[in-house]
Structure 1
Amino acid sequence: MSLDIGAAIRASRKLRKLTQAELGDRAGVTRQAVAALEGNQGHLSTMFALLEHAPINFKGMTSGAAVGEKLALARQATRLSLAAVARTAGVSINTVRNLERNRGSVGPLIKVAGIVAPRLRAGPAPIETGKVWRTVAGRPNRARDPNDYYATPAPIVRLLLDHEEFDRKSSILEPCVGKARVIEAVLRSTGFACITCSDIAASGSEQRDFFDISDCYDVVLTNPPFRRHVDWIIHAKRIARHKIALLLPLNYLSGSDRHDRIWTDKEFPLAKVLILNRGISFLGDPFAERLEATQLYCAWYIWDRAHKGPPAIHWIDNHAIMERQAA
């Protein structure tokens, strides 16, 4: 089987649950350019742009900074001249030279690779996950929940409802309901009835991967896994009709990747940030009336499809629900 870069990019894209259009948006290219690359056509510059968001691994060739350098090292190892490689591949010497400088097109690259590195293969890079996680209290924890599940403290949910208006008749999706079912309990206790709950670790009909959900709801409201928050926000925008409310760390307001992929979106914009002025713990009894204070500062991020203009920032004084320190 020969090198198939297009198939590797396609597999990486699907692993990350992206459409061709979404990958193109992230990479700054058209959907047609993505389709061309997945058919092993198009420019290397486009390929490198896509690999930032749908990375692939090359195996079977001497390592190098990029695929061009890999080709150069492989050719030198086989003691083949530029002319010999060009002649066998049916391309010009300048084409080979440009490929080794990471310029040119994918089609000739595959031809040249078949000569200088016939064992070269490409495959999707796995989604990276840390080997050692830390708990939200900052303590080392190698047994961190693999789904990043930490129950949302009920007082924090009530603070959201105190500061943001939701139609009691809205259909609400809580896709990280967890064993404690805290958000659902608070919503039902305050008059919400049309609530759909699911969780990747649930059982029966509620066992659903969030990224497989295609049904639409008026509101998506949850405390999502922090480590995949960008993908969660993007998918929530696909299935929420009106609003999204997510509990996330306050420092997620920064970062160029989040800026480009989330905060500058005007079709489903960020409307409000409700900042909790005391850091909170997710490790105690989620239904306790008081919470342990930590250095994890969070906020409720509210997206509203009808919002116009920049987001509003509000501070919530959650001092009253924090445990009092011993004298």
Structure 2
Amino acid sequence: MQNTSHAVMAQRVEPATSLDDFPTPPWATRALIEHAIGADSVRDKTCLEPACGRGHMARALAEYFKDVGSADVHRYGFGHVRDFLTYPYEAKSHDWVITNPPFRLAEDFVDRAMTVARSGVAILARTVFLESVGRYTAIFRDRPPSVFAQFSERVPMLKGRVDRKGSTATGYAWFVWHLDKTPAHPRLTWIPPCRRVLERDADYA
């Protein structure tokens, strides 16, 4: 019999060689801009989405940013084929770096993004990314996020596709670093229920 406890269902373990292909529903990207960063603050900014997959996040970002560059280590048919961790992006070449990185590489993505971005970095990750001594030492102790924006409703992440009827037992949050500001303390906020408002029929075409 399947164990359906939330403690088990909330875990997702991918093989070390996995591409971690779990596309972000576009409404969850719009929620970042509308409720954590602010649409007016990015209208004249550039953005890089370095784990773009099939473009679900990049297309949503393009609704807000002046220009969005897209790339992924795998050829999905959208954006450039580039390994974000090894491609020679110039330092501070983009205003923002925003992405949903492979979970096992998220620390490396944050570290790399800090050099590529001028204004800010935002990554979508499971809420448990807050945990672990390793991440505390590598990231959070000396470079805590400016904003930790927890989704109040669940963001369904399904392997290889977005699905309007999808569901999940896993909690997600946006981790946001404002590089051009030095906040005294990280700000905890909640992204209010907004899926119905920010979802579009075209997101699932």
Tell whether the structures are fold-level matches, with TM greater than 0.5: yes
Structure 1, gaps ≥5 residues long: 1-135, 322-327
Q: Distance in 1 between matches of 2:189 and 2:10?
A: 25
The corresponding residue for 2:70 is 197
Shift in alpha-carbon separation, 1:170–1:227, aligned structure 2, 3 A: same
Q: Distance in 1 between matches of 2:99 and 2:121?
A: 9
Shift in alpha-carbon separation, 1:211–1:310, aligned structure 2, 3 A: same
The corresponding residue for 1:187 is 61
Q: Distance in 2 between matches of 1:237 and 1:139?
A: 27
Q: How many residues align?
A: 180
RMSD after superposition: 2.8
Deviation at 1:294, TM superposition (A): 1.8
Higher relative contact order at CA 8 Å, sep ≥6: structure 1 or structure 2? Answer: 2
Counterparts of residues 26-45 of structure 1 (less than 5 Å): none
Counterparts of residues 60-209 of structure 1 (less than 5 Å): 146-163=18-35, 164-165=37-38, 166-179=41-54, 181-188=55-62, 190-202=63-75, 206-209=80-83
Deviation at 1:275, TM superposition (A): 0.2
Deviation per CA, 1:148-180: give whole Å up to 9, x if none: 12110111111111111242121110001112x
Q: TM-score, normalised by structure 1?
A: 0.50
User: Whose helix proportion is higher, 1 or 2?
Assistant: 1
Is the radius of gyration larger for structure 1 or structure 2?
1
Shift in alpha-carbon separation, 1:280–1:137, aligned structure 2, 3 A: farther
Give 2:20's aligned amino acid.
D
Shift in alpha-carbon separation, 1:139–1:192, aligned structure 2, 3 A: closer
Give 1:167's aligned amino acid.
V
Identical aligned residues as a percent: 26
The corresponding residue for 1:313 is 188
Shift in alpha-carbon separation, 1:208–1:243, aligned structure 2, 3 A: same
The corresponding residue for 2:200 is none
The answer to whether the 8 Å contact 2:46/2:68 transfers is yes
Q: Distance in 1 between matches of 2:182 and 2:118?
A: 13
The answer to whether the 8 Å contact 1:137/1:281 transfers is no
State yes or no: 1:278 paired with 2:153. Answer: yes
Q: Distance in 2 between matches of 1:172 and 1:140?
A: 29
State yes or no: 1:211 paired with 2:85. Answer: yes
Deviation at 1:141, TM superposition (A): 7.6
Q: Distance in 2 between matches of 1:154 and 1:204?
A: 15
The answer to whether the 8 Å contact 1:279/1:296 transfers is yes
Three-state SS of the structure 1 residue aligned to 2:72 is: coil
State yes or no: 1:234 paired with 2:108. Answer: no
Shift in alpha-carbon separation, 1:231–1:191, aligned structure 2, 3 A: closer
Give 2:105's aligned amino acid.
R
Structure 2, gaps ≥5 residues long: 1-8, 197-205
